[in-house]
Amino acid sequence: MMNLKKAAITGVSGYVPDYVLTNTELETMVDTNDEWITSRTGIKERRILKGENKGSSVMAVAAVKELLEKTNTNPEDIDLIICATITPDLVFPATANIIAAEVGAINAYGFDLGAACSGFIYALTTGAQHIETGRYKKVIVIGVDKMSSIIDYTDRTTCIIFGDGGGAVLLEPSEDENGIIDFIHKSDGKGEQYLNQQAGGSRLPASHETIDNKLHYARQIGAAVFKFAVTNMADYAAKIMERNNLSSDDVSYLVAHQANKRIIDATSNRMGIGDEKVLMNIERYGNTTSGTIPLLLSDFESKFKKGDNLVLAAFGGGFTWGSIYIKWAYDPK
Ligand code: UT7
């Protein structure tokens, strides 16, 4: 069974909704200003999925359809779909199944994976294991969130950060030495108190009281999360370089979760790499939680060459964090 082939990303796609929520518009909603948001976070605007009855799957389906087209893949050949999200369409069934049905992936099994801002990297590793064992040939890994569905637009400490969007990658067995080389994942449940959505789960089901007390919104103690994020994202990006003997010159790009430009800067400083190697689109999309890394891969796909060394890094609610080392598998098409 073990074929020891690496899993390679063989295609990427991203999707963001049309509506642009600018810092200027946020100034009319809460007591904030463009200067504060830009200097503290690096964010200028974010996208919002508007319209009735539209869940995260709407964005994922658009991304997956584009991915199938770009990679010339028949949806019936897809073996597995993993959807990383903390804003699923429904509590159950899984959004991955809704997506599979919409795109015609009738032979795939699917499930959702929730690890907040680290969701996509956890899902990518999980998908890769299905390929590496030789069990499956085509796996789609999605990271998507409709953060606007759980944001309190009267809370200036959260509403300025988050946005909606996501993307998808196709994983296939690698034909050569390129592919997903290594990963380190970590979590610490003590982080719950700093970043969470309190109600709507089994501990505190929805009630009039939970709604009156605004307990269905994402809540964070920003400064505390910032402290953990800065050290852990930098440490684990550095750790994966060390154990794979990658010098800063060897790293082609840092693909970091886009939560705050200052966290990304701290990570790249720790890695000793220049700004030209740091992929950034936080100014346009804000923090899309599970969506940031596939959106980066999709926005910057045309820069990547076969054999490039990419370091992925994320930190998020849980706490959850980690890093992945990828040797990129294809040249720009
Ligand atoms: O993605 C998953 C994990 N999440 C993260 O990684 C986010 C990590 N945290 C952060 O990025 C930052 O903590 C924030 C961007 C959320 C906040 O930035 P900060 O520099 O940590 O600000 P702070 O919370 O320490 O607040 C500083 C001041 C406070 O005023 P006082 O008490 O000093 O007078 C806040 O009330 O800034 C005030 N403030 C604002 N002012 C204008 C907080 N939010 C705003 C705002 N506009 N939107």
* Ligand 1 pocket residue status of 222, Cβ below 6 Å: yes
For 217-234, the three-class secondary structure string (H helix, E strand, C coil) is CEEECHHHHHHHHHHHHH
Tell me if 19 CB under 6 Å of ligand 1. Answer: no
Sequence letter at residue 183:
F
Q: How many whole angstroms separate alpha carbon 33 and alpha carbon 42? A: 13
| Whether the CB of 210 sits within 6 Å of ligand 1 | no
What pLDDT was estimated at residue 4?
Answer: 76
Is any ligand 1 atom within 6 A of the Cβ of residue 160? yes
CB of 32 shorter than 6 A to ligand 1:
yes
Whole-number pLDDT of residue 2: 53
Does ligand 1 lie within 6 Å of residue 223's CB atom?
A: yes
| C-alpha 190 – ligand 1 centre gap (Å) | 21
| Residues taking part in catalysis | 117, 257, 287
Query: CATH no. for residue 60?
Result: 3.40.47.10
**pLDDT score for 86:** 98
Residue 333: inside a domain: no
Whether residues 217 and 277 fall in one domain: yes
Pair 70, 105 in one domain: yes
146 found inside a domain: yes
Minimum CA distance residue for ligand 1 atom 25:
223
Domain end point (choices 128, 152, 177): 177
Q: Report whether pLDDT(226) > 60.
A: yes
CB contact at 8 A, 315 and 233: yes
If asked whether residues 45 and 187 sit together in one domain, one would say no
Check if the beta carbon of residue 313 is closer than 8 Å to that of residue 323.
yes
Which of 158, 177, 196 is at the close of a domain?
177
pLDDT tens-digit series, residues 135-191? 999 999 999 999 999 999 999 999 999 999 999 999 999 999 999 999 999 999 999
The string over 186-212, giving b where at least 16 C-beta atoms fall within 10 Å of a residue's C-beta and e elsewhere, is: bbeeebeebbbbbbbeeeeeeeeeeee
Instruction: Mark whether 239 and 316 lie in a shared domain.
Output: yes
Q: What is the pLDDT of residue 3?
A: 54
Same-domain pairing of 229 and 316: yes
Same domain for 18 and 149, yes or no, is: yes
pTM strictly above 0.95 = yes
How many domains is the chain partitioned into structurally? 2
| Rg of the chain taking only CA atoms, in angstroms | 19
One domain, residues 171 and 299: no
Last residue of a domain, one of 177, 193, 210: 177
What is the C-alpha to C-alpha distance for residues 81 and 179, in angstroms, rounded to an integer?
A: 19
Same domain flag for 17 and 165:
yes
In a domain, residue 332? The reply is no
Are 11 and 112 members of one domain?
Answer: yes
Atom of ligand 1 nearest to the CA of 32: 47
In a domain, 320, yes or no: yes
Query: Do residues 152 and 230 both lie within one domain?
Result: no
Residue 17 lies in a domain: yes
Nearest CA to ligand 1 atom 14: 222
Residue 1 maps to a domain: no
Report pLDDT digits (tens) over 227-279. 999 999 999 999 999 999 999 999 999 999 999 999 999 999 999 999 999 99
Q: Verify whether ligand 1 is closer than 6 Å to residue 41 (CB atom).
A: yes
Rounded percentage of the chain residues whose pLDDT exceeds 90? 98
Nearest residue (CA) to ligand 1, atom 46: 32
C-alpha dihedral, 106 to 110 to 116 to 122, nearest 10°: -110
Q: Which residue, judged by its Cα, is nearest atom 23 of ligand 1?
A: 223
Residue 2 lies in a domain: no
What sign does the dihedral 62-66-67-73 (CA atoms) show? positive
Pair (264, 157) in one structural domain: no
Residue having the nearest C-alpha atom to atom 16 of ligand 1: 222
Rounded CA gap, 155 and 161, in Å? 11
Ligand 1 atom nearest residue 160's Cα: 48
Q: What is the pLDDT of residue 333?
A: 84
Distance of CA 88 to the CA centre of its chain: 14
Compute CA 24 distance to the chain's CA centroid, rounded to the nearest angstrom: 26
Strand partners, 8: 172
Residues 185 and 155 grouped into a single domain: no
Residue 75's domain comprises 7-177
Find the mean pLDDT for residues 87-99.
Answer: 97
For the CA of 316, the nearest atom of ligand 1: 2
Average pLDDT of every residue of the chain: 97
